[in-house]
Every structure is written in structure tokens, then in C-alpha cells.
Amino acid sequence: MLNKKYYSLLIRRALAEDLGSAGDVTSKAIFSKKQKAVFILLAKDDGILCGITPFAEVFRALNKNISVATYFMDGDALKKGDVVARVSGSLIDILAGERTSLNIISHLSGISTKTAAFVAATTDPKTGKRGKPTILDTRKTIPGMRRLQKYAVETGGGQNHRIGLFDMVLIKDNHVDAAGGITEAVSAARSRWGKRFKIEVETRNLDEVKEACAVGIDRIMFDNMDNETMKEAVAIVAGRAETEASGNMTLERLATLGETGVDFVSFGELTHTVKIFDFSLKRES
């Protein structure tokens, strides 16, 4: 669910950054505060909408009397030319919020659209049934926007990995090396937290996979393994833990990952390498 606390502070900071102490000096010079206008939010791409609520909230933060009528919901498929929303009210205030509102909705819709393409690669076109692996995001997000970006991944049909460092034990290569091995690192985590958090371990080879299986954890990550090695790794795990592929993953590779039997695959690029969804906010004629 999209919680207002995920974006209210972001919007205030973004508007403060854009308007400074003088505000929109261009619009203030040309128009009067009394002038009203109606603008339409126009989709200029095909894809999946995400961020319509914070888009509207930008204008309400500037002027509570601005009206935003929305015609699509997050998760809806958009076609180029669709009128997504109509913004009515103070001309100066609408222009003041134009860039901030577009930045947010364009970025989030870019994430949801990209995620949907990755999910489609694991979906049977005839039955619509999703197969393995399940698409996950990572923590490779823009500081301050993680909750919104992960919401956009979910909107596109993907699933969230851990939200931060606080909600799951993920023992990675640096932890393993510094602790002296997987067994030592897992033992320390269990000693500190008991069963409070799920435990995932990153493995780099089949010997580490076997060691991770032996200590009985929740999920085993296969880092930068080719498909044949992952297939062997899945056979070693034999259902004793969830399995996840990570590192060097691409959309093109998704087509062949299903044959390995891996349960999940995580993609940093869902949030860190995103083409924005093209919208325009134009005055209605």
C-alpha cells in the first residue's frame, strides 16, 4: 500500500529545492495570482501508470484549492494519447508544481513499466500464468525514494526483496569472509536474533551452497552463477530453502532461467537504471 508518509516529505523538499525563497519568478512576472487554468496530464508512451497520488499531492501542497481529477489508477495500462488527469485552479501554482509532479510520476511509471516487461517474460502468453522465477527488486534505490520505488516495482507486478537492512538478515560475501565462513556468520546471527528475522546467505560456488544447506537457512542466493551451475545448486538445495539468482541478470536471460528451477531472481536495474515514462502537462485549449 502507498502510504502518504512515503512521499509527503519528499514533495516538500522537492518544491523547496525548485522554488527557493522567491518562487517561480517567471510565472509571477507574467501572470496574476487570480488567473485560473485547466491542464491535462497526457501519456506520451505505452506502459503502466504509477504515482498518480503523489502527482496530485504536489499541487495540493502548493494550493489546497487546486482540483485534480484522475481517470486512471496506479497499475492501469496506459496508451500513448491517454488523458490521465485534469488539473484545475491557480495558473501560477499549477506551473510551480509542473516539474516536480512530472518528475515523480514519470520516474515511478518508468519503474512499473520496466518491471511489467520483466514479469511478462516469465508469464505464459496463452494462459497468463506466471512461472518461475519471481521478479524481485534490490536496495539499489535513490536515497529518500526507496519506498516509492519499491511500491512502483509492486505496481508493475514484481515483488520486494527486503526494504532495508532492518527487516531481514542477508549474509553476503563480505560478512562471510570477515566472519570466517557461512557457518560462523549464520551462528552469530542466530545467537543475536534467534528466529526474529529470516536468514538469507549469498553463495559464490557449490561448496558454499552445500554449507548453506547444512546450517538450515530460509533462502540461498546464487551470486553470478551460470545456468548450469545454478541448476546443480537447485538440485543440491532440493527444496530445503528458497533459492534466488542474483548478479549478471538481464531481461534476455530471463527466458532461460526458468529451466534452472530457481525460485526468485533479483534485479538492481529495476530501480537504478530506468527510462522515464514520458508525460506532458499541457494547458487545455
pLDDT band at 285 (very low <50, low <70, confident <90, very high): low
Give per-residue pLDDT as tens, 162-212. 999 999 999 999 999 999 999 999 999 999 999 999 999 999 999 999 999
Residues 110 and 18 in one domain: yes
Residues 15 and 40 in one domain: yes
Catalytic residue numbers read: 99, 140, 172, 202, 223
Q: Is 34 helix (H, G, I), strand (E, B) or coil?
A: coil
153 part of a folded domain: no
Contact residues for 268 (Cβ-Cβ < 8 A; gap 6+): 137, 138, 140
- Which structural domain range is residue 180 located in? 168-266
pLDDT band at 1 (very low <50, low <70, confident <90, very high): confident
Q: H helices within 121-226, ranges in order?
A: 146-155, 173-179, 182-193, 206-214
Give per-residue pLDDT as tens, 61-105. 999 999 999 999 999 999 999 999 999 999 999 999 999 999 999
CATH of the domain at 33: 3.90.1170.20
CATH of the domain at 222: 3.20.20.70
130 part of a folded domain: no
124 part of a folded domain: no
Residues 9 and 86 in one domain: yes
32 part of a folded domain: yes
Domain count, the chain: 2
Residues 179 and 115 in one domain: no
**What value does the mean pLDDT take over residues 39-47?**
98
The yes-or-no verdict on residue 9 having pLDDT over 90 is: yes
Whole-structure pTM value: 0.96
